Amino acid sequence: MASQTGLTGPERPPHFTDDAWIEVLSAVDRTYADLVVYQEQLERQNAELEEMRTFLTAILSSVSDVLIVADRAGRVARISRSVMALTGCTEATALGRPLAEMFETGERAVLGGLLQMVRDRRRSTGLEANLLTATGVEPLDVSIAPRLDDRGRVDGFVLTGRPMGALRKAYAELTDSHDALKTAQAQLVRNEKLASLGRLLAGVAHELNNPISFVYANAHALERYAGKFETYFARVQEGAGREELIALRQSLRLDREMANLREAIQGARDGAERVRDIVEDLRRLSSDGSGEKTVFDLAETVRIAASWVMRGMKQPVALVMEPLVPAKVLGRMGHVQQVVMNLVQNSVDALEGRESGEIRISIQTEGQQVVLTVADNGPGVPDEMRTSVFDPFFTTKPVGRGTGLGLSISHKIAQEHGGSLSLAEGGPGATFRLELPLAEGAG
């Protein structure tokens, strides 16, 4: 204010009135007041900025994922502490480097292309990429998002990356245990197959024994006849007299043996044919179920499978198979055979020790479905077990007799064929119902 007073007196410009001076002074006052306001605003904004900076720094240093902020040109502007820890860079060494250079050489072009795409479309995108680290590379599940300015233009990029190592490891472990499970499952299915095969073999041995002994006995008889004829023809050759030959013929009973000869040949042939049929059946039974799907007659399959189970049986059980309507089904014959054999075997088991046991098998078509029922007059399945019988390992049979897998595998096979396997309501005894879709165009 000294200069103000200093302007009083003769040096004061003549056209400056007092009013003008007051005007100037108040303008100065106003400006000063404004300045104070601006100063306060600036300080407030400064504090906000500082707070924002601390906030951002806190984020950058606390995120465990990789976080890289880049400018419009795709050059690194900020990196999270996790990036520094991984790569060994400091913010100073990383700053201004092209973002893509932080990744493996082979991926840089792709990354560059992606940045361009994000820039053009203003939308996030992702990829798997290997971040160069102090010790090698770190595979990351990367996501790149555009950073927009207040006018909505792309002003830079934010790249986040989740280390894949842990994910990969977890995934690999999952795959391993899945594989182990599959192997175990295959093993179990094999065990069940072996168990039914064992039972089947008992039946096969028994069944083959019959025709083979038949063939054997007839061959033995043929040998005997051959001996007699040899004796007779030797005498003919030696020029024996008619009388002698007639007597020899009688003593050797050649006329009767002649008729027997035909019978023995027929018998041996029957036996051989029976063996051939059995082998044929067995070949079908052992046909690998994993093969191609084919169209086959369910009735035929059921007949063979059921009769084979019955052959292995220790006590008499009546088997009634009617109606057995021919029904073409598309699927794996071996698998369906396995289902039928298991159902019939379960019935045979349920009838063990019971008098006048009976198993009824029927095949009927209902619309586009074919329905096979296997019913027995055994004790049936108690209500509380109705659902459990389909569970793997559920068995009421002693160790060595039951695996508890038959129904669970059968259920799965039915489903794989687009059908179902269920336990019908009511009794007495148990009735299992297998439904399968009829093969297209067949009825």
Which parts of this chain interact with ligand ADP (CB under 6 A)?
342, 346-347, 350, 376, 378, 380-381, 389, 394-397, 402-408, 430
**Nearest distance from C-beta of residue 272 to ligand ADP, angstroms:** 36
Report what 395 binds from Mg ion, ligand ADP, none; CB cut-off 5-8 Å by kind.
ligand ADP
Question: How many Cα atoms sit within 13 Å of 442 on the Cβ side?
Answer: 18
Q: How far is the CB of 345 from ligand ADP (least distance, A)?
A: 7
Q: What one-letter code names the amino acid at 1?
A: M
Name which of 160 and 347 has its Cβ closer to ligand ADP: 347
Per partner kind, with CB cut-offs from 5 to 8 A, the member of Mg ion, ligand ADP, none near residue 140 is: none
Q: Which does 396 bind (CB under 5 to 8 A by kind): Mg ion, ligand ADP, none?
A: ligand ADP
Q: How far is the CB of 208 from ligand ADP (least distance, A)?
A: 26
Which listed option, Mg ion, ligand ADP, none, makes contact with residue 430 (CB within 5 to 8 Å by class)?
ligand ADP
Name the residue among 278, 136, 269, 91 with its Cα closest to residue 200.
278
- 417, 336 in Cβ contact below 8 A? yes
Helix H segments across 238-316? 242-251, 254-285, 298-311
Cβ proximity to Mg ion: between 76 and 344 the closer is 344
Comparing every residue's Cβ against ligand ADP, the nearest one is: 406
Closest approach of Cβ 386 to Mg ion, in Å?
Answer: 16
Query: For residue 14, what are the contacts with CB-CB under 8 A and spacing of at least 6?
Result: none
> Is the Cβ–Cβ distance between 73 and 118 less than 8 Å?
no
User: Please, which residue, 285 or 430, has the CB nearer to ligand ADP?
Assistant: 430
Question: Could you tell me the smallest distance in angstroms from the CB atom of residue 406 to Mg ion?
Answer: 3
DSSP states along 47-107: HHHHHHHHHHHHHHHH-SSEEEEEETTSBEEEE-HHHHHHH---HHHHTTSBGGGGB-GGG
> Quick one: 312 or 406, whose CB is closer to ligand ADP?
406
Exposure of 217 in the CB half-sphere (CA atoms within 13 A): 12
Which residue, 87 or 408, is less far from ligand ADP as judged by CB?
408
What tokens were used for 8?
């009083």
Angle between the N-to-C axes of helices 164-237 and 333-350, in degrees from 0 to 180, rounded to the nearest 10: 80
Q: Residue of minimal CB distance from Mg ion?
A: 406
Residue closer to Mg ion by CB (options 260, 307) is 307
123 binds, among Mg ion, ligand ADP, none (CB under 5 to 8 A by kind): none
389 binds, among Mg ion, ligand ADP, none (CB under 5 to 8 A by kind): ligand ADP
- Decide whether 174 or 202 has the Cβ nearer to ligand ADP: 202
Residue 378 touches which member of ligand ADP, Mg ion, none, C-beta under 5-8 Å by kind: ligand ADP
What is residue 123's three-state secondary structure? coil
- In angstroms, the CA 133 to CA 254 distance is 103
Residue 388 beta carbon to ligand ADP: minimum distance, rounded to whole angstroms: 8
- Return phi, psi of residue 326, to 5°: -60, 135
Torsion of CA 370, 374, 375, 379, to 10 degrees: -140
Q: C-beta of 401: minimal distance to Mg ion in Å?
A: 9
Least distance in Å: CB of 80 to ligand ADP?
58
Residue 347: contacted member of Mg ion, ligand ADP, none (CB under 5 to 8 Å, by partner type):
ligand ADP
The listed partner (ligand ADP, Mg ion, none) that binds 329, CB under 5 to 8 Å by sort, is none
Q: With respect to ligand ADP, which residue has the nearer C-beta, 301 or 342?
A: 342
Smallest separation (angstroms) from ligand ADP to the CB of 351: 8
> Can you tell me the distance from the alpha carbon of 151 to that of 148, in angstroms, rounded to the nearest whole number?
8
Identity of the residue numbered 201: L
256-260 long-range contacts (CB < 8 A, ≥24 apart) are 257/225, 257/228, 257/229, 260/221, 260/225
Between CA 138 and CA 115 the distance in angstroms is 20
CB of residue 388 to Mg ion, shortest distance in Å: 14
Q: What angle do CA 342, 348, 349 make, to 5 degrees?
A: 85
Closer CB to Mg ion, 27 or 194, in the complex: 194
| Binding partner selected for residue 301 from ligand ADP, Mg ion, none, CB under the kind-specific 5 to 8 Å limit | none
Determine which helix (DSSP H) or strand (DSSP E) holds 113, and give its type and residue range.
helix 108-121
The residues that touch Mg ion, with contacts defined as CB under 5 A, are: 342, 346, 406
Nearer to ligand ADP, 267 or 402 (CB): 402
